[in-house]
Amino acid sequence: MTDRARLLPQLGEVFRAHGYEGASLALISQATALGKGSLYHFFPGGKQQMAAEVLAEIDAWFEHNIFAPLRDDDDPARAIAAMLKGVDSYFRSGNRVCLVGVIALGHARDIFADAVNGYFARWQDALVSALRRTGQSPAMARKRSEDALLTIQGALVLARARDDAAIFTRALADLKARLLA
């Protein structure tokens, strides 16, 4: 179990860099310094199980570090600020791509549809909860939370497309102002 915990982040980076279909076992074997035999020992379900567990771990990280504070923090504005700080850190200020977004755009979405949809659904619900507690109407909270998720994803795409991570940093700064307006 502890070996697996060290493995998942490495797998995540391979899937991030090459996508689900592009992440070959040869690349994974190289990135983890583990033979195929060992990989199948940990993940009898092969590549699909690897990706599923990586997605689950990402989901758990966001649940603990972002979603839960958004839902539970006594100071919702602080939780929102912490979300943006956490997001900036997680995505390395625009230099790291969102694996859930990558999978959503590819053909692998069909396999991981529930995980992909659930991740964004729970993020949005948690953010709606925080925005509501700052006194915003349900409609406004819903609209702004959708704007937030979409802005983060779009900024990551554009930053990578233009090879300019500053796009992501600017987008997060603007987003903060819009969310708390």
Residues contributing to the site for DNA (CB under 7 A): 3, 23-27, 33-38, 40-42, 44, 46-48
Sign of CA dihedral 153, 154, 155, 156: positive
Please say which residue, 34 or 157, places its beta carbon nearer to DNA: 34
Q: In 3-state terms, what secondary structure has residue 36?
A: helix
Determine whether 153 is exposed, middle or buried from the number of CB atoms within 10 Å of its CB (0-12, 13-18, 19+): middle
Please say which residue, 6 or 177, places its beta carbon nearer to DNA: 6
Task: Spell out a b/e string for 114-140, using b for 16 or more CB atoms within 10 Å of the CB, else e.
Answer: ebbeebbebbbebbbbbbbbeebeeee
Q: Are 3 and 9 in contact (CB under 8 A)?
A: no
User: Does 174 engage in binding with a second copy (CB under 8 A)?
Assistant: yes
User: Does 22 engage in binding with a second copy (CB under 8 A)?
Assistant: yes
Please say which residue, 34 or 149, places its beta carbon nearer to a second copy: 149
Least distance (Å) between residue 112 CB and a second copy: 10
- How many other C-beta atoms lie within 10 A of the C-beta of residue 44? 8
Calpha distance 99→154 (Å, rounded): 13
User: Does 101 engage in binding with a second copy (CB under 8 A)?
Assistant: yes
Interface residue with a second copy, options 109, 122, 132, 176 (CB under 8 A): 109
Sole window of 31-39, 61-69, 83-91, 147-155 interacting with a second copy (rule: CB under 8 A): 147-155
Residues that bind a second copy in the complex, under the rule CB under 8 A: 17-19, 21-22, 97, 100-102, 104-107, 109, 113, 116-117, 119-121, 143, 146-147, 149-158, 160-163, 167, 170-171, 174
